[in-house]
């Protein structure tokens, strides 16, 4: 019989506690769990457990307390740690370089969050184009259509997608169904059969040709402030901007300047550069549609994310590789 592995959960388990306990009862896991009230208590418990047990796998769920997973979190667990099964598509809060150097996979959960995020993106696209905030404000004030401009017809409108991963592809499919034309930029052009009618452009070409630009790239050193003053200057006058990726992909001060000078007509945002703080101009403008990093907040999300993370653990146990790794520690 295969020796059970030691698995440590960090953060609240909201939907898969029974699944974890069943795996322990089956002899596949020895389960250790930490969910504390402060970061310091998290780190203290990690040190205590790692002093007596060799932890092979960490399953990190969304925790409002332990928001950063870095060397301080992981160092006590090395050299035995081999997999961190995280939550969510983004991993800018995780020190993946440290994990890679120490022979540890990091696996995210892109499938669970992709469709809710893509659907929210399309909602923001439509609300931004159709001037939702000002129109709703008019109704509440009793002004009806007074002062409301006509807005572009979405049919034939050119949408530029930056980042054609899982979410970008879903956004493409949804806006194409609404009659929009899609162009895209990706680090690597997709095979033609995967493009499904979308046209690949170099980044600067996309900036110039898109009436609306929507961002779906991870936050990395290379994508921080991907849109700043130089990029806004290349866009069409009256462009629309939507961001459901990560706030710092946009230079927020530059976005405000572009809105003030008319380069950007309206924007729809679910993420911000300094969350939870929102730039005063963006918060007060009726040319913005704003959400509180809310795209994945659907009633199935915790079950879906935790199940995907658990499947990453099972895949690693069976094949030595998780389903959705974002790094390759074997090449470190």
Residues annotated catalytic, as ranges: 246, 275, 293
260 CA to centre of own chain: 28
Kindly report the CA angle at 156 between 177 and 250, in degrees rounded to 5? 85
Cβ–Cβ under 8 Å, residues 86 and 309? yes
Whole-angstrom distance, CA of residue 18 vs CA of residue 34: 16
For 35, what's the count of Cα atoms within 13 Å in the CB-facing half-sphere? 12
Cβ–Cβ under 8 Å, residues 295 and 117? yes
Element containing residue 166 per DSSP (H, E): helix 166-177
Q: In 160-220, which ranges are continuous DSSP H helix?
A: 166-177, 192-195, 203-209
């Amino acid at each position: 019989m295969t020796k059970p592995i030691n698995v440590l959960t960090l953060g609240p388990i909201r939907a898969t506690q029974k699944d974890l306990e069943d795996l322990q009862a089956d002899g596949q896991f020895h389960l250790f769990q930490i969910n504390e009230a402060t970061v310091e208590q998290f780190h203290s418990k990690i040190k205590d457990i790692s002093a007596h047990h060799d932890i092979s796998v960490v399953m990190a769920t969304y925790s409002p307390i332990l928001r950063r997973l870095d060397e301080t979190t992981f160092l006590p667990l090395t050299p035995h740690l081999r997999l961190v099964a995280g939550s969510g598509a983004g991993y800018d809060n995780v020190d993946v370089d440290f994990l890679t150097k120490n022979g540890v996979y990091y696996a995210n959960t892109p499938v669970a969050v992709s469709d809710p995020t893509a659907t929210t993106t399309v909602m923001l696209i439509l609300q931004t184009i159709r001037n939702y905030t000002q129109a709703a404000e008019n109704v509440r004030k009793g002004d009806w259509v007074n002062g409301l401009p006509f807005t572009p017809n979405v049919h034939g409108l050119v949408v530029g997608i930056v980042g054609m991963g899982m979410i970008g592809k879903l956004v493409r499919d949804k806006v194409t169904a609404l009659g929009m034309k899609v162009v895209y930029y990706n680090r690597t052009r997709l095979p033609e059969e995967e493009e499904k009618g979308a046209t690949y452009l170099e980044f600067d070409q996309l900036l110039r040709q898109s009436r609306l630009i929507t961002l779906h790239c991870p936050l990395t050193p290379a994508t921080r402030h991907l849109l700043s003053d130089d990029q806004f200057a290349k866009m069409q006058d009256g462009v629309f901007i939507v961001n459901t990726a990560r706030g710092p992909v946009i230079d927020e001060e530059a976005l405000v300047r572009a809105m003030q000078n008319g380069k950007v007509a309206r924007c729809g945002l679910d993420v911000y550069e300094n969350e939870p703080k929102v730039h005063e101009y963006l918060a007060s403008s009726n040319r913005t549609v704003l959400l509180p990093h809310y795209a994945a907040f659907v009633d199935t999300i915790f079950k879906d994310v935790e199940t995907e993370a658990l499947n990453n653990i099972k895949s690693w146990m069976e094949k030595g590789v998780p389903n959705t790794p974002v790094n390759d520690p074997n090449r470190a």
